[in-house]
């Protein structure tokens, strides 16, 4: 083994490094450069980190095999956590870290630390090659006659301009519209609610009598035939559009509504979908009658036609006219009179 291969092991200053020009920075030898004991110690440190990493990887496999996946363990600050989860993470993370730390310790303490200058080629091509490329381009331009044949040039530009149009037209097929089916804006503008549609509690589908809702009460509700439609359509679109909340307030507190007599004895039905970007909202404050959206803090005053009193929403919360059927259960008197949810292009 020559000094060049192990410059520090014998405490010599770094050997000249072949053709790499040494930078114009004075070199100050490290402890490991001058003291062989320190160099040995650094070597042992690095090897210790690598050995520890090996042990941690073995411990990882052992934890994976031995620890019961359901076992939990209490660790201060972290709380009660899955024992295997924490063991696997700690072993793999610490092991990987120790490989990196060992490599850096090796580089800092033992590898040569002389500053060197890296030689690089200049960025631009040489002038002859640049001139040749420019000449090639000019010859191609002249020989093709792009400047001379005006008709060809203009028709080519026209063809290229029309080329993207078929692709854009194809986008229309992203929305399946067989003949007779509603257009996208009709779909966005209508919901399951219609005259006589019974209002039921969301999730439990129980019909609601007016007397069931006390003043200050809030019920998340849905149309009675939501389940069938949802199963037929294999999606949640109908639920997303038809979700409503019912709130009851003292009729004297209702300052205005979106239509005459749209409440039933102080029970008001409003869409549950925010008109800003469509978050479902039911943060109803029974004292202020404000409905707050948790996403962007749009606030609607349900005692005053659902008008926006704060936040980014641009449109009021659509109200659903309600009444009772002959059995005394709450029902819708029609669909929403304006599209629910966020605005869209075709929205009038």
Tell me how far, at minimum, the Cβ of 204 lies from another protein, in Å.
7
- Enumerate the β-bridge partners of residue 292: 283, 299
**Restricting to residues 61-100, which ones interact with another protein according to CB under 8 A?**
72, 77-82, 85-86, 89
State which residue, 44 or 209, has the beta carbon closest to another protein. Answer: 209
- The pairing of beta strand 267-271 with beta strand 319-320: antiparallel
Closest approach of another protein to the CB of residue 109, in Å: 5
Task: Name 229's Cβ contacts closer than 8 Å, sequence gap at least 6.
Answer: 192, 238
Q: Cβ 211 to another protein, closest distance in Å? A: 7
Site map (CB under 8 A) of another protein, residues 117-156, x = contact: ----------------------------------------
- Is residue 309 helix, strand or coil? strand
Smallest distance, Å, CB 10 to another protein?
18
CA dihedral 190, 192, 196, 198 (to 10 degrees): -140
Q: Given CA atoms 246, 250, 255, 257 in this order, what sign does their dihedral have?
A: positive
- Residue 48 burial (CB count, 10 A): 13
Compute the CA torsion angle 85, 88, 91, 95 (nearest 10 deg).
Answer: -120
x-marked contacts with another protein along 269-298 as a string, rule CB under 8 A:
-----------xxxxxxxxx-x-x-x--x-
Distance CA 188, CA 176 (A): 14
Which listed range, 125-133, 146-154, 188-196, 197-205, lies at the site for another protein (CB under 8 A)?
197-205
Identified binder of another protein from the candidate list 49, 87, 192, 213, rule CB under 8 A: 213
Instruction: Assess 46 for contact with another protein (CB under 8 A).
Output: no
Q: How far is CA 28 from the centre of its chain?
A: 51
- The answer to whether 314 touches 279, Cβ cutoff 8 Å, is no
Among 104, 116, 131, 156, binds another protein (CB under 8 A): 104
- Note the residues at the interface with another protein (CB under 8 A): 30-32, 72, 77-82, 85-86, 89, 104, 108-109, 113, 201-204, 206, 208-209, 211-220, 247, 280-288, 290, 292, 294, 297, 299, 310
């Amino acid at each position: 083994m020559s000094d060049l291969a192990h410059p520090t092991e014998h405490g010599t200053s770094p050997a000249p490094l072949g053709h790499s020009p040494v930078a114009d920075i004075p070199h100050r030898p490290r402890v490991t450069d001058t003291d062989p004991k320190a160099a040995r110690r650094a070597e042992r440190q690095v090897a210790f980190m690598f050995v520890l990493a090996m042990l941690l990887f073995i411990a990882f496999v052992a934890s994976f095999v031995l620890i019961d996946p359901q076992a939990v363990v209490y660790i201060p600050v972290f709380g009660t956590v899955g024992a295997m989860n924490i063991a696997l993470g700690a072993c793999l993370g610490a092991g990987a870290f120790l490989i990196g730390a060992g490599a850096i310790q090796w580089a800092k303490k033992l590898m040569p630390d002389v500053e060197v200058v890296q030689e690089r080629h200049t960025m631009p091509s040489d002038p002859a090659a640049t001139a040749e490329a420019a000449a090639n381009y000019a010859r191609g331009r002249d020989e093709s006659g792009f400047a001379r044949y005006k008709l060809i040039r203009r028709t080519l530009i026209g063809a290229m301009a029309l080329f993207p149009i078929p692709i854009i037209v194809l986008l229309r097929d992203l929305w399946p519209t067989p003949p007779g089916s509603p257009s996208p804006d009709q779909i966005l503008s209508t919901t399951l609610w219609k005259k006589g549609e019974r209002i039921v509690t969301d999730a439990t589908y129980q019909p609601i009598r007016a007397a069931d809702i006390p003043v200050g009460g809030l019920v998340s509700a849905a149309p009675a035939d939501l389940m069938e439609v949802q199963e037929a359509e294999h999606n949640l679109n109908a639920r997303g559009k038809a979700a409503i909340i019912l709130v009851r307030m003292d009729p004297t507190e209702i300052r205005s509504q979106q239509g005459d007599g749209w409440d039933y004895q102080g029970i008001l039905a409003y869409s549950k979908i925010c008109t800003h970007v469509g978050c479902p909202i039911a943060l109803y404050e029974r004292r202020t009658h404000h409905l707050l959206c948790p996403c962007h803090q749009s606030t609607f005053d349900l005692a005053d036609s659902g008008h926006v009193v704060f936040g980014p929403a641009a449109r009021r919360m659509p109200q659903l006219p309600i009444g009772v059927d002959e059995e005394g259960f709450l029902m819708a008197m029609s669909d929403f009179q304006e599209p629910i949810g966020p605005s869209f292009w075709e929205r009038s």
